[in-house]
Chains A and B, each alone.
Chain A
Amino acid sequence: EVQLLESGGGLVQPGGSLRLSCAASGFTFSSYGMSWVRQAPGKGLEWVSTISGRDDSTWYADSVKGRFTISRDNSKNTLYLQMSSLRAEDTAVYYCAKDGGSGSYYNWYLHIWGRGTPVTVSS
Chain B
Amino acid sequence: QSVLTQPPSVSGAPGQRVTISCTGSNSNIGADYDVHWYQQLPGTAPKLLIYGYSNRPSGVPDRFSGSKSGTSASLAITGLQAEDEADYYCQSYDSLRGRVFGGGTKLTVL
Interface residues of A (CB under 8 A from B): 35, 37, 44-47, 50, 59-62, 95, 100-101, 106-107, 109-116
Contacts and interface: CB of A to CB of B under 8 A. Distances in A.
Contact of A61 (B44, B98, B103): B98
| Shortest Cβ-Cβ A-B pairs, 8 listed | A47-B99, A107-B34, A109-B36, A109-B51, A44-B104, A106-B93, A113-B45, A45-B101
A45 B104 contact: yes
B90 to A, nearest CB: 10
Given A44-B2, A44-B89, A106-B33, A111 B48 contact: yes
Nearest to B28: A106
Sort chain B's interface into a size bin.
20 to 34
A59 B51 CA distance: 20
A110 B38 contact: yes
Contacts of B102: 44
Contacts of B101: 44-47
Interface of B: 2, 33-34, 36, 38, 40, 44-48, 51-52, 57, 87, 89, 91, 93, 97-104
Most chain A CB atoms below 10 A, which of B44, B98, B103: B98
A45 B98 contact: no
B89 to A, nearest CB: 5
Given A44-B89, A47-B101, A62-B97, A110 B52 contact: no
A106 B36 CA distance: 12
A63 to B, nearest CB: 10
Most chain B CB atoms below 10 A, which of A44, A109, A112: A109
Nearest to A112: B48
21 contacts: A44-B2, A44-B101, A44-B104, A45-B101, A46-B101, A47-B98, A47-B100, A47-B101, A62-B98, A95-B45, A100-B48, A100-B51, A101-B34, A101-B52, A106-B34, A107-B33, A107-B93, A110-B46, A110-B48, A111-B57, A113-B46
